[in-house]
Amino acid sequence: MYESELAGKVAVVTGGSSGIGEACSRLLKAAGATIVIADIDNDTGFGLAEELGGAFFELDVRYQELVMSAAEQIAIDVGPVDVLVTSAGVIQRPQAPHKIPMSEWDNIFAVDTRGVFLCCVEFGTQMAQRGAGGSIINIASTSGLRSVPVHAYAPAKAGVVSITGCLAVQWGRSGVRVNAVAPGLTSTPPIQASIEAGTRNADALTQSSALGRVIHPDEVAEAVLFLASDRSSAITGVTLPVDAGSLIGAGWVALGGIPGPMHAVS
């Protein structure tokens, strides 16, 4: 279906070995791209890259010198990068702000905000200087678009939204588009583990969803592919929620809840 959309393109996916990043790696490969997985998880990342016929670079996105080195080496070993997906990230459990160790707060920002910025700067600058266009898709979160009790993760993802808009204008006339996808609660391994551990209520997760469900990594990847492809050639600087309607459904919960399916009414 997508086999030629990204033919001849090189796509780098940070955090590309699991969850949303893995789904993006697989779908971009299916669309014809040469995949480069840049991930801190060496074993899983290398295996997936080998499966997809791509390349693997071990990368901790928190460190500028490592990101710079990876960007330079990928350009030499694989070729100029056309698509960057910044999916590397860490999550946070809900907790009161005074209970968050500052070391945890700092690490969340280091990965989820600083890491996104560093990768955008290094790969995006290459794209802009080359003058051949390019597309960057940052993985934000609906947590960065509303108030939620994750007092490090939500502000960190709000920073990703801001970075996206700033860089979209900075590089727009150099032909580089910068957008973000903001997933809602997604059935990734960490979310499933929290449900099984009892730290998240599965029913509560879908209470405000207009569609009545969580989303799947493949659905986020579909939005990423759209923003990576020429189908979105006039779109830059946007943050696209992929959340099964949880943002728009939240206001209904306090006013009687979201209506059930009409066909179920006798």
Q: Exposed, middle or buried: residue 266 (CB in 10 Å: 0-12, 13-18, 19+)?
A: exposed
d(Cα 91, Cα 51) in Å, to the nearest integer? 27
From the list 109, 123, 153, 171, the catalytic residue is 153
Rounded CA separation 42/56 (Å): 8
Q: Determine how many CB atoms are found less than 10 A away from the CB of residue 203.
A: 6
Q: Determine which helix (DSSP H) or strand (DSSP E) holds 242, and give its type and residue range.
A: strand 239-242
Query: Does the annotation count 153 as an active-site position?
Result: yes
Could you tell me how many residues make up the chain?
266
Residue type (1 letter), 182: A
Q: Beta strand pairing status for 10-14 and 34-39?
A: parallel
Residues assigned a catalytic role: 153
